[in-house]
Homo-oligomer: A and B are copies of this chain.
Amino acid sequence: MNNVFKALADPTRRKVLELLRQRPMSAGELSEHFPVSRPTMSAHFAVLREADLIESNKIGTTILYQLKLSVLEDALLSFSQLFGIGAVERAATKPAGNGQPRKQPRRS
């Protein structure tokens, strides 16, 4: 949780997460959106990975990053609840199929 908030403290990293919300992207593609060097972006990815907010998939020579929405959600939810701010509703199974399913198979 602390790592999540640390990760969210930087605007570049928040923007990366936003970009990844739309679809998985390679490190290079993500980097194109920012005016900083690739190594710098790589460091940002490492922080996000450390916070477990993204996961990576090596495909040949490129690395595809993917948002772990449920982790972001859980952090936001539990923090909000501390304040009674309440009900960040549970991920409503994202439409485009880029959700973050890997969790408990939801006991109905």
One digit per residue, 1 when the CB lies within 8 angstroms of any chain B CB and 0 when it does not, for chain A 1-36 equals 010011011010010011001000000000000000
Say yes or no: is A55 at the interface (Cβ < 8 Å to chain B): no
Interface of A is mostly: helix
Closest to A9 in B: B9
Q: How many residues of A contact B (CB 8 A)?
A: 27
Q: Tell me whether A83 and B21 are in contact in the complex, defined as CB-CB below 8 angstroms, given that A76-B76, A88-B88 are known contacts.
A: yes
One digit per residue, 1 when the CB lies within 8 angstroms of any chain B CB and 0 when it does not, for chain A 37-64 equals 0000000000000000000000000000
B6 touches A2 (CB 8 A): no
B2 touches A82 (CB 8 A): no
A residues adjacent to B (C-beta < 8 A): 2, 5-6, 8-9, 11, 14, 17-18, 21, 69, 72-73, 76, 79-80, 82-89, 91-92, 94
